[in-house]
């Protein structure tokens, strides 16, 4: 009896990527989380930055006491993290009816994870 190979329905992305959902959740894959780790410590709070001109957002580790910060929830499996940021997505005018995944880029000098959103002009 010949065997058939099972094909995964989803493909694991090892390079940093961000998924934004209309519900207000932002998912960071494992590659994105690894970028934010500083001195082997996971940040439990982050700040969101926004460049209106280039439609580029960024995530930067913050202190837990920063009132502007959003809390980060990490997967028990170590596969990524979730941030509930509906107010941020509303503020930037997130126009998508479905979730989108975009590549993220680590900016070492600024210590932030940036990603560009494909807004229609």
For 112, other C-beta atoms within 10 Å of its C-beta total 21
What is the average pLDDT score of the chain?
89
For 26, other C-beta atoms within 10 Å of its C-beta total 25
Residue 11 forms part of a structural domain: no
User: Under DSSP, is residue 90 helix (H, G, I), strand (E, B) or coil?
Assistant: helix
| pTM metric for this prediction | 0.83
Q: Would you state the pLDDT for residue 96? A: 84
- Full residue range of the structural domain in which residue 25 is found: 17-116
Q: Would you state the pLDDT for residue 13? A: 58
Q: What is the count of structural domains for the chain?
A: 1
Residue 9 forms part of a structural domain: no
């Amino acid at each position: 009896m010949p065997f058939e190979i099972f094909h995964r329905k989803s493909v694991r992305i090892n390079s940093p990527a961000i998924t934004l959902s209309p519900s207000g959740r932002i998912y960071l894959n494992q590659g994105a989380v690894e970028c934010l780790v500083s001195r082997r410590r996971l940040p439990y709070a982050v700040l969101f930055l926004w460049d209106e001109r280039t439609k580029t957002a960024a995530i930067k580790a913050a202190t837990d006491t920063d009132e502007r910060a959003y809390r980060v929830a990490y997967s028990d499996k170590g596969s990524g993290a979730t941030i509930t940021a509906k107010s941020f997505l509303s503020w930037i005018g997130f126009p998508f009816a479905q979730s989108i995944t975009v590549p993220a880029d680590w900016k070492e000098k600024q210590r932030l994870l940036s990603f560009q959103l494909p807004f229609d002009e």
